[in-house]
Amino acid sequence: MRRTVKRWAVYALLGYGLFALAIYYYLYGLASGGLPEIYKGTSADPSVFLSGAEQALAQKYSTIKNFLFFISVPFEWLVYLFILVFGLSRKFEEWSKGTVRFSFGQTAIYLFYLSFLTFLLAFPLQYISYHYSRVYKISAQTFPQWMKNELIDFWVSYVIMTVLVFVLYALMKRFKKKWWLAAWTLFVPFTIFMMYVQPVVIDPLYNDFYPLKDKKLEAKILTLADQANIPADHVYEVNKSQETNSLNAYVTGIGENARIVLWDTTLNKLDDDEVLFVMAHEMAHYVKKHIYIGIGSYLVLAFFGFWLAAKWMEKLVRKHGEELQIQELSQLRSLPLLLLVLSMMMFASSPFSNAISRFEEKQADAYAIEMTQNKEAAISAFQKLAREGLSEVKPPWLVKIFRYSHPAMAERIYTIETYPLPDKQGKKMEENRGVSAQKSRN
């Protein structure tokens, strides 16, 4: 058995190294193509709104972040595999059972060992990502501020995971074959509950949320909300400038806890018309029921995910249980295997979920253009978002399908510029595009 385990470890390390080299070659070699001709000379052309130095910085920063993403995901799989094959998971389970007798306490202790070890092993890559965010002036956090958020992440995840894992393994013991169905049945109300409490319980752990200070701007936003038949009394502002220089706004929560949130960096760097377009975009997610569609899609995928994970794990334990030191699935020591399987399935399904999200974002952009009738503000807002966040205007194909839940900036800006509006502004945009193209040719 030990020989098999050593062979697995060698193959896993070799495969990870080859994958890292392949991704490096793809990002730094093959994926360095130019801007498609269709965007050149338009508002989507980065040379129109970014200097040469800014374009170079955006390219370097994006490539680094993309590389870190692609090597971090399989690194997580490698960690779970090594914890299994070298017996660490079995040891954690034995230590937890030797410490307390009641099962919830055993789950909490086991999960602390596992969470702390994975946190330590993932920390170098997390720190490298933070370091480059500081170097390229995206992050405004000091190391203590960043570390504070990392520790909050650890403890929030630990508390939630302890409850989930305890319930899950209780179901595994109670329902030997159909545990996955029972788990999914409880997962549905849990997901809805978390969506409901996140804006008012979890998010405030990281930042301060308060009603928008600029009451004139808030009145304009609430007028838009009224036009869209959205029952809103406040727009929320969050103090993200102490963490980042990038811009963002989003919709979170459901029911009476649903919130439209603006980062203060967005308010500081966009003018009122640009902010109104951003807000109209976020309102579109409410009007188009994207939050509920997202929850529904997530739960459907989770159903098949639980089923597939159960079948996959049963097969692995039946065939390799001795090497993995797992006799049955209901043992706590099988958790790294479950996390490994779920992580791999989530990564494999991300192109599908990202494609749905990009489609919804296109719908929200179109809704916002029609509501505000201000294409110039929309274009300038996205140009500023790209500049401040050092966004990759036209990402490589693999990066787009695995990382981008929003359309790429070049695509979004060009779509807005060419979006038909039956008014004077549509003609004005066409004239401006012609001027830009002429400048580009000259």
Please tell me the predicted confidence (pLDDT) of residue 117: 96
Which domain range does residue 390 map to? Answer: 2-208+288-417
Tell whether 70 is covered by a domain. yes
Q: How confident is the model at residue 90 (pLDDT cuts 50, 70, 90)?
A: very high
Please tell me the predicted confidence (pLDDT) of residue 418: 93
Q: How confident is the model at residue 440 (pLDDT cuts 50, 70, 90)?
A: very low
Residue 59's nearest CA partner among 382, 388, 393 is 393
Residue 437 has pLDDT above 50, yes or no: no
Tell whether 22 is covered by a domain. yes
pLDDT in tens, 14-70: 999 999 999 999 999 887 667 888 998 899 999 999 998 999 999 999 999 999 999
Give the HSE-up count for residue 342: Cα atoms under 13 Å, Cβ half-sphere. Answer: 12
Tell whether 9 is covered by a domain. yes
Tell whether 50 is covered by a domain. yes
**Two structure tokens written together for 122:** 């993932």
Share of the chain above pLDDT 70, in %: 93
Please indicate whether residue 259 or residue 412 has the higher confidence score (pLDDT): 412
Task: Tell me if residue 111 falls in helix, strand or coil.
Answer: helix
Q: Are 400 and 410 in contact (CB under 8 A)?
A: no
Count of structural domains, the chain? 1
Please indicate whether residue 211 or residue 344 has the higher confidence score (pLDDT): 344
Residue 141's nearest CA partner among 41, 163, 79, 152 is 152
Please tell me the predicted confidence (pLDDT) of residue 277: 95
Q: Which of 1-15, 145-159, 322-336 has the lowest mean pLDDT?
A: 1-15
Please tell me the predicted confidence (pLDDT) of residue 73: 94
Q: How confident is the model at residue 1 (pLDDT cuts 50, 70, 90)?
A: low
Let me know if 282 is a catalytic residue: yes
Tell whether 146 is covered by a domain. yes
pTM of the model: 0.87
Q: What is the DSSP string of 10-57?
A: HHHHHHHHHHHHHHHHIIIIIT-----GGGTTSTT-HHHHS-HHHHHH
Q: Are 235 and 212 in contact (CB under 8 A)?
A: yes
What amino acid is encoded at 249 in this protein?
A: A
Please indicate whether residue 327 or residue 436 has the higher confidence score (pLDDT): 327
Catalytic position from the list 282, 360, 388, 417: 282
Please tell me the predicted confidence (pLDDT) of residue 442: 43
Tell whether 132 is covered by a domain. yes
Tell whether 356 is covered by a domain. yes
Tell whether 366 is covered by a domain. yes
Residue 155 has pLDDT above 60, yes or no: yes
Q: How far is CA 54 from the centre of its chain?
A: 25
Share of the chain above pLDDT 90, in %: 58
Q: How confident is the model at residue 424 (pLDDT cuts 50, 70, 90)?
A: low
- How far is Cα 5 from Cα 247, in angstroms, rounded to an integer? 47
φ/ψ of 263, rounded to 5, equals -70, 145
Residue 247 has pLDDT above 90, yes or no: no
